[in-house]
């Protein structure tokens, strides 16, 4: 069947055998396609126009082998909530292969929930429909927001139940990512003292993600530097949109710099710097404001894994790595500030901008403003009809009112017209984010009524997060008190 050509080239399966376990998906009883991402498929060069829904369901459930697939589960380790677990690995995700897209770029295609693997430990290798829907809505929304992320190519319901706290309908997510190499993948071999493997992995990761650093000496510091930079940028982007990952374990942090493993993640409604949603994050380790520090903590674990490769004595290797790790904070701050300047309508750089941006959040928290809407509403203060627009929420506190005056004076020093400032703010501040209560509604309709229309409608709104459209006001509103989601669950 010519229509099912994935154009696979499976480089990971050519790495040494201790990198993975070759394992095929376990067939499910009655797979049904519940989501198929046509635009992603076409950008990957997959021509599935003539392929039936039934055929797609077979392929993306793993019931039928895709041509050229070389199924494997990757080995990795990881620090979970600060505790090292030497053996994790893909317990319920199975790589089908690496798609080479029409531009030559390589993408992993993985089925999450495809059955047990040698790394499943006590798990069933399956995924429940609710968490699959959450991941597909949020990952696609992140992409539309411009955040590096794994993406959702397809999802199927399996026709089987999985046992969690209660019995839940099962589902499988076909996700696509630049790769699934994690900090924990390096830790897996570091924990075993297998320097040959770490070197092979580091070479592979450098070639795959940072090929321009292949020739740079010493080679592995270049890789570390790139990952530090990519993660500084990624986490800065999260912090600009109010995203809380929820489980920033080292096995959930990629070398590519993409967001991965959407478990109990959430976007904030009302801004609270120490906000935690995840039901399993009892000590707030992965609270919103902790995310940059945690990223650095995780990157330090990557650095430790790479130290033996540097070919330097231990003291020199450590000091070289430390220098790079110390650069995380300034990189992070530069990315964060540059994003905040855009969100606040600023183009020129002034020394006071950092404090202006930080103070915005201080007052936003004081007045209990909505993270997303407060930025949009700021931009409306710049319009010609300013007298008629309602006061900004910050105006309800003395400090906030002062901040608004400072910001207004700062905007006056911009070389552009207010109109242009406003336009650029509207391009940098989303109108629509995947709010928890909206996700919850979509999940409930799907799980309780087998109705996927709410999911599709929400995804369509979120596919253009910056373009305000008439009739979509309900998607902008924070939840009613009775719909506020206080806790999110992994559901694994
Ligand atoms: P996560 O919390 O989803 O990042 O997963 C942490 C570890 O648990 C990874 O090694 C997963 O593969 C594994 N895992 C999570 N859920 C399951 C499951 N249902 N069956 C088997 N392994 C799982
Ligand atoms: Mg994970």
Per the DSSP assignment, residues forming a β-bridge with 177 are: 108
In a domain, 68, yes or no: yes
Atom of ligand 1 nearest to the CA of 113: 19
145, 165, 180: which is the final residue of a domain? 180
pLDDT per residue over 114-131, tens digit each? 999 999 999 999 999 999
Out of 251, 261, 269, 281, the active site residue is 251
Virtual CA dihedral for 405, 408, 412, 417, nearest 10 degrees? Answer: -160
Residues 217 and 166 in one domain: no
Residues 287 and 192 in one domain: yes
Residues 156 and 24 in one domain: yes
In a domain, 170, yes or no: yes
Residue 396 C-alpha from the chain's centroid: 34
Is residue 404's pLDDT more than 80? Answer: yes
Q: How far is the CA of 252 from the centre of ligand 2 (A)?
A: 5
Is residue 261's pLDDT more than 70? Answer: yes
Say which ligand is closest to the CA of 122: 1
Cβ of residue 120 lying under 6 Å from some atom of ligand 1: yes
Q: What is the mean pLDDT of the chain?
A: 95
Residues 219 and 140 in one domain: no
In a domain, 262, yes or no: no
Given this model, what pLDDT does residue 491 score? Answer: 63
For residue 203, give the nearest of 9, 10, 12 by alpha carbon. Answer: 12
Given this model, what pLDDT does residue 1 score? Answer: 45
Residues 45 and 135 in one domain: yes
Residues 17 and 165 in one domain: yes
Is residue 3's pLDDT more than 90? Answer: no
CA separation for the pair 343, 375 (Å, rounded): 7
Given this model, what pLDDT does residue 208 score? Answer: 97
The HSE-up count of residue 197 (CA atoms within 13 Å, CB side) is: 19
Given this model, what pLDDT does residue 228 score? Answer: 98
Atom of ligand 1 nearest to the CA of 162: 19
In a domain, 470, yes or no: no
Q: How far is the CA of 365 from the centre of ligand 2 (A)?
A: 31
CA separation for the pair 262, 492 (Å, rounded): 11
Cβ of residue 131 lying under 6 Å from some atom of ligand 1: no
Number of domains in the chain: 3
Per the DSSP assignment, residues forming a β-bridge with 22 are: 72
Given this model, what pLDDT does residue 216 score? Answer: 80
pLDDT band at 385 (very low <50, low <70, confident <90, very high): low
251 classed as catalytic: yes
Residues 237 and 131 in one domain: no
Residues 356 and 325 in one domain: no
- For residue 208, say if its preceding peptide bond is cis, omega within 30 degrees of 0: no
Pocket test for ligand 1, best of 21, 89, 92 (most atoms within 8 A of CB): 92
Contacts of 254 (CB under 8 A, 6+ apart): 177, 178, 179, 180, 181, 182, 183, 260
Residues 85 and 60 in one domain: yes
Is residue 178's pLDDT more than 70? Answer: yes
156, 180, 204: which is the final residue of a domain? 180
In a domain, 256, yes or no: no
For residue 56, give the nearest of 157, 168, 162 by alpha carbon. Answer: 157
pLDDT per residue over 276-332, tens digit each? 999 999 999 999 999 999 999 999 999 999 999 988 888 999 999 999 999 999 999
For residue 151, give the nearest of 459, 443, 441 by alpha carbon. Answer: 459
In a domain, 114, yes or no: yes
Residues 285 and 405 in one domain: no
Cβ of residue 123 lying under 6 Å from some atom of ligand 1: yes
Is residue 112's pLDDT more than 80? Answer: yes
Given this model, what pLDDT does residue 488 score? Answer: 84
Q: Are 410 and 356 in contact (CB under 8 A)?
A: yes
Is residue 217's pLDDT more than 80? Answer: no
Cβ of residue 26 lying under 6 Å from some atom of ligand 1: no
Write out the residue range of the structural domain in which residue 204 sits: 184-243+280-331
Give the residue ranges of DSSP H helices in 347-487.
353-367, 371-380, 398-412, 418-428, 436-449, 453-462, 473-476
Residues 218 and 288 in one domain: yes
């Amino acid at each position: 069947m010519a229509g099912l050509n994935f154009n696979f080239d499976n480089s990971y399966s050519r790495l040494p055998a201790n990198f993975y376990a070759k394992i095929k998906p376990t067939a499910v009883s009655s797979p049904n396609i519940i989501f198929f991402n046509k635009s992603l498929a076409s950008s990957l060069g997959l021509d599935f126009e003539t392929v039936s829904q039934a055929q797609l369901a077979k392929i993306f459930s793993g019931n039928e082998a895709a041509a050229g697939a070389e199924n494997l589960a990757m080995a990795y380790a990881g620090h979970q909530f600060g505790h090292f677990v030497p053996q994790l690995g893909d317990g319920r995700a199975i790589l089908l292969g690496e798609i080479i897209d029409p531009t030559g770029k390589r993408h992993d295609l993985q089925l999450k929930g495809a059955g047990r693997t040698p790394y499943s430990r006590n798990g069933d290798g399956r995924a429940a429909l609710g968490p699959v829907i959450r991941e597909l809505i949020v990952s696609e929304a992140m992409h539309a927001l411009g955040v590096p992320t794994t993406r959702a190519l397809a999802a199927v319901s399996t026709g089987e139940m999985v046992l969690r706290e209660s019995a839940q309908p099962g589902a499988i997510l076909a996700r696509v990512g630049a790769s699934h190499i994690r900090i924990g993948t390096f830790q897996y071999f570091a924990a075993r003292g297998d320097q040959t493997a770490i070197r092979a992995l580091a070479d592979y990761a450098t070639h795959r993600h940072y090929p321009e650093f292949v020739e740079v000496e010493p080679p592995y510091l270049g890789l570390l530097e790139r990952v530090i930079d990519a993660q500084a940028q990624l986490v800065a982007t999260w912090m600009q949109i109010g995203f809380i990952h929820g489980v920033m374990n080292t096995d959930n942090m990629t070398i590519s710099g993409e967001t991965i493993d959407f478990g109990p993640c959430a976007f904030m409604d009302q801004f609270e710097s120490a906000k935690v949603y995840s039901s399993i994050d009892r000590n707030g380790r992965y609270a919103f404001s902790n995310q940059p520090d945690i990223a650095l903590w995780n990157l330090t674990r990557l650095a430790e894994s790479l130290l033996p490769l540097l070919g330097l004595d231990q003291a020199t290797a450590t000091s070289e790595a430390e220098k790079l790790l110390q650069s995380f904070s300034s990189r992070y701050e530069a990315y964060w500030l540059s994003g905040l300047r855009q969100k606040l309508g600023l183009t020129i750089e002034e020394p006071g901008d950092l404090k202006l941006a930080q103070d915005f959040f201080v007052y936003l928290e004081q007045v209990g403003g909505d993270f997303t809407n407060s930025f949009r509403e700021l931009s409306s203060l710049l319009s010609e009809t300013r007298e008629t627009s309602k006061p900004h929420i910050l105006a309800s506190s003395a400090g906030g009112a002062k901040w608004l005056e400072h910001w207004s004076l700062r905007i006056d020093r911009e070389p552009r017209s207010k109109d242009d400032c406003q336009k650029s703010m509207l391009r940098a501040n989303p109108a629509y984010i995947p709010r928890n209560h909206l996700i919850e509604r979509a999940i409930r309709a799907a799980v309780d009524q087998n109705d996927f229309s709410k999911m599709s409608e929400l995804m369509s709104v979120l596919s253009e997060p910056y373009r305000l459209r008439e009739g979509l006001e309900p998607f902008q509103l924070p939840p009613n008190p009775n719909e506020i989601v206080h806790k999110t669950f992994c559901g694994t």
